[in-house]
Structure 1
Amino acid sequence: MKTNPKFLLIFSIFILVSMACSILGGDNWISSVAFSPDGTLLAGGSTNGKILIWDPQSGKIRKTLRQNSSIESVAFSPDGKWLASGSSDLSVTIWDTSDWSEEKIIQHEKPNTGETTHVRNVFFSPDGLYLFSLSNIYGVEILDTKNWRLVKNLGIATRGDGAISSNGEYFAVVSKDGNTVMVYDLKSFEIVFQPQFEESSWDHYGIAFSPDGTLLATQSIIRDERGRSLYEIWDISSKKVIQSWATLPFGGARLKFSPDGTILAIAQYDVSLWDIQTGQEIAHNIVGTDGTVGDSILTVDFSPDGSLIAAGTLDNEYGVWDVKSGSVIWSEY
């Protein structure tokens, strides 16, 4: 199948502008946010090497943690005891939330290939026994949280896009070339599902599990001159798409299910909320932007009760918004 030249031009411009934004403003934006399990804390990792710990209701900074390189990902353990952070220098740091001391630093050797490195994703298993680290160099690594030693490397080449189901049954990862999504059984570490996408869609970015682990949301780019994003909701047991919709514009998105599993948040150039059953948009522009590449939403997370949503953008706007009204609780710019 031939790719439309206009689409290639649009996609190339998107990549170039994104790279330019990264180069010009790359020391200051919030790249990852995560609520603590009890909802009393919000962590935000910044490309200037800082991790800010906020009160999510007031926006008051409770603690500032510092590292030597850009923070790419943050995640709390299920019991709230640990905060894990992944960095551009391929390190994973474990913080003790009782006193915010460094519990453990896991440092990987950087390759001499000149490739940009990052630990794109870190997250804990729902039982808290394992920490998953996803990097574009070392792939998917699973660490034992008792001693922080490597238990398994899945041997997958990935950019770092992945997700784990809240019921602890499944783990999903996007391949490094963006063409394949693989769903693993967490007990056997065998692939149990590999979505078969339409030939017209490619370069898969965002993936997310529903809280009960029965559904998988995926985002990909449609290969046409309009340059749209395709969102699909897959039933894992039947391995079929039960809901799908396409929107403008295209480009990588971050996906997050609400805690009750009824809403999918899509973070792209804004944050929009979609009804899973109907495939209809129920809220638009929760986090306001003017639609430019420089305003791309880099990260999004729901509070544990689903009432709040936190986000950070490429032009360094971040804050907390009310899900029902869309009104801002607090934000910084």
Structure 2
Amino acid sequence: MARPGGIIERDDDDDDANFEDAVFIDADDIVEDVPIDEETLPDRDSENDEDEDEGEEGEGEEVEYEPERDDAVEVFKAHTDSVYSVSCSTGGMIASGGGDDVAYLWKICESSSSSKQLKGHTDSVSALSFSEDGSLLASGGLDGSVLVWDTQLGSLKHRLEGPGEGIEFVSWHPRGPVVVAGSEDGTIWMWNADNGKCMQVFSGHGGSVTCGRFTPNGQLVCTGSADGSLRLWNPKTAETSMVIQGHAFHAEGLTCLDVSSNSSLVVTGSTDGSVKVSQLQSGKVVGSLVGHNKSVECIRICPELPMAASGSMDGKVLIWDLQTLSVRNACEHDEGVTRLIWHPSSPLIYTAGVNAKVQLWDARTGKVQRTFLGHRKTIYDLAVSKDGDVVVSGSDDGTVRVFSCS
């Protein structure tokens, strides 16, 4: 399951220039609530046996490591199953969700007993995202619902329903209480988080919507699918403004994407091992980055420099120069990489994956700076604090670990 990463630092000058053209500021003024045409949506009762069987052949048992030390400054053990998603808010709050069908809200250096248990999903919590101001948390589940929580009270504000299958990602608009989510049923839904009403349903993908987000300027919704296409949507009309696919694009399904801070470029990764760079305005594929030989699981654009990083199950994190469209450095891992995230203000990258390690790399040299041990099984998700001094990881071992990088 692929999930996009956190909010990229915005180019304030660019955003100011387009502020009047932004799609919405106030949630009530964004779009009128629209009736849903059920005939345009995918058949929710149909099952894709081929997708269900995909990846089962040849899979071995999960490896459990015995770390020589535990570098975590805090270990959160409230979950009773694998932790699939973690997120950090601007106020220092942490959210985690997993296979036990619950999410938790907690703060570093507070006892586990003071954490808030968020119950409401009936299947695994697969995606989490804080609103820009940290006052709201959206949790997406494999039950097909998105729940919006008040982070101060730890209480459920709205249950957002509509998708027929599991949620793959959730993303907040950068300036308003509006959330979008992509589903395994091929649809994307957009809701007003203040009143809980559905605003739009985006239908057009022919497979699971594996990754997506609002562009940093708020003018488009960008989504990638297992059908091998990237779609750009107008959130005001729910119409597709651009479809990127075909021989110049990925040969297989998309797993991850990220958008540049000025909303001009999108980078995408695929199960075919390819990385593509496309222009959002023209839809032209301007770069085909070659270097991975297995599925690309994560991709991020650096907030400080014109670089991107991609992580793959081949054990490589490749650092791409977006000006020359070439490999700048390679960070070699001994197992597949599932997540990576840039430091918010330095050319440093945190990575994690099958080897149960969190590692910090210098993107300029490709050299590892620190290795954080403590997890016993695959790490599924990473989040970093706004100052970059704390990294949080969620693992198949059922724990959330906090590592200090200061």
1:68-125 CA-partner distances (Å, limit 9, x unpaired):
4211111111113311101111121112122232222234586xxxxxx421112111
CA contact (8 A) 2:304 2:347 kept: no
1:111-157 CA-partner distances (Å, limit 9, x unpaired):
xxxxxx42111211111000012111262111012222211111255
Question: Which moves more between the two structures, 97-106 or 123-132?
Answer: 97-106
* Deviation for aligned residue 1:190: 1.7
- In 1, the alpha carbon distance for the partners of 2:349 and 2:170 equals 21
Q: Is 1:210 aligned with 2:305?
A: no
- In 2, the alpha carbon distance for the partners of 1:14 and 1:83 equals 38
Q: Is 1:145 aligned with 2:235?
A: yes
2:214 alignment partner AA: F
Q: TM-score, normalised by structure 2?
A: 0.60
Compared CA separation, residues 159 and 188, structure 1 to 2 (3 A): closer
1:147 alignment partner AA: T
* Deviation for aligned residue 1:61: 4.5
CA contact (8 A) 1:29 1:317 kept: no
Q: Let me know the Cα RMSD of the aligned residues.
A: 3.5
Q: Is 1:196 aligned with 2:282?
A: no
Aligned match of 2:197:
101
> Helix, strand or coil for the counterpart of 2:296?
coil
1:276-326 CA-partner distances (Å, limit 9, x unpaired):
3453143524xx5312xxx541x43445554665655557666x846547x
Compared CA separation, residues 104 and 315, structure 1 to 2 (3 A): farther
Q: Is 1:234 aligned with 2:324?
A: no
Compared CA separation, residues 263 and 29, structure 1 to 2 (3 A): farther
1:38 alignment partner AA: D
- In 2, the alpha carbon distance for the partners of 1:13 and 1:303 equals 38
2:272 alignment partner AA: G
Compared CA separation, residues 79 and 205, structure 1 to 2 (3 A): same
2:183 alignment partner AA: S
Aligned match of 1:88:
184
1:284 alignment partner AA: F
1:223-276 CA-partner distances (Å, limit 9, x unpaired):
xxxxxx0111111112333332211222x5122223224332324244624233
Superposition misfits of 4+ residues, deviation over 6 angstroms: 11-14, 24-27
- Give the number of aligned pairs: 288
Q: TM-score, normalised by structure 1?
A: 0.72
Task: Please give the residue correspondences for 1:1-333 in structure 2 after superposition, counting only pairs within 5 Å.
Answer: 15=59, 28-54=123-149, 60-63=154-157, 65-67=159-161, 68-108=164-204, 117-137=207-227, 139-155=229-245, 156=249, 157-175=252-270, 177-197=271-291, 201-212=293-304, 214-222=306-314, 229-250=315-336, 253-269=338-354, 270=356, 272-276=358-362, 277-278=364-365, 279-285=367-373, 289-291=375-377, 295-297=378-380, 299-306=381-388, 309=391, 312-313=394-395, 321=402, 324=405
CA radius of gyration, larger in: 2
1:46-75 CA-partner distances (Å, limit 9, x unpaired):
22333344566x793443534342111111
* Deviation for aligned residue 1:41: 3.4
Unaligned runs of 5+ in 2: 1-54, 63-81, 85-98, 102-121
2:375 alignment partner AA: T
> Helix, strand or coil for the counterpart of 1:275?
strand
